[in-house]
Amino acid sequence: MNKQQLAAKIWASANEMRSKIEAYEYKDYILGFIFYKYLSDKLVGFARGEDFSDEDLRGLSEEDAETVEHFKSNLGYFIAYPHLFSTWIDPKSDLMSRMSAMPSPPSAVSFPRITNVSSRASSRPWKRV
């Protein structure tokens, strides 16, 4: 399969999926992606401000408890390098094979593990009624 055939197959798949989603439902997906990109960009910006090199960024993982805690205490959350938005869209990566091997995005099950509950609660600008 050459690049043109692959591109045609991807577009055909996208058109098939799009036919199953109403136009008003796109916002649910797009807003989620925009927010995830914002969180990823903010984490990378914070890391750069903390003098993290490209190599340090590539090493971000949940296995480094001290670094995870540092990010969580300052940002309120942590995203491992393979799950950053920028790594999803890297043209040098083989996105299709990475996506098929990728676990589902962080869910309600893992959310408490990657966030700092006290930070989230203190940063709310609204009051609960």
Strands (E), 10-111: none
Residue 31's pLDDT is 83
Residue 1's pLDDT is 64
**What percent of the chain lies above the pLDDT cut of 90?**
35
The length of the chain in residues reads 129
Give the rounded distance of the alpha carbon of 128 from its chain centre: 28
Residue 52 C-beta-side C-alpha neighbours within 13 Å: 19
Question: pLDDT, tens digit, for every residue of 24-42?
Answer: 777 777 788 889 899 999 9
Closest CA to 79 of 50, 55, 101, 46: 46
Ranges of residues in the chain with a pLDDT under 50 are: 96, 102-104, 106-109, 120-129
Question: What are residue 77's DSSP bridge partners?
Answer: 115
Taking the C-alpha atoms of 83, 89, 90 and 95 in order, what is their torsion angle to the nearest 10 degrees? 80
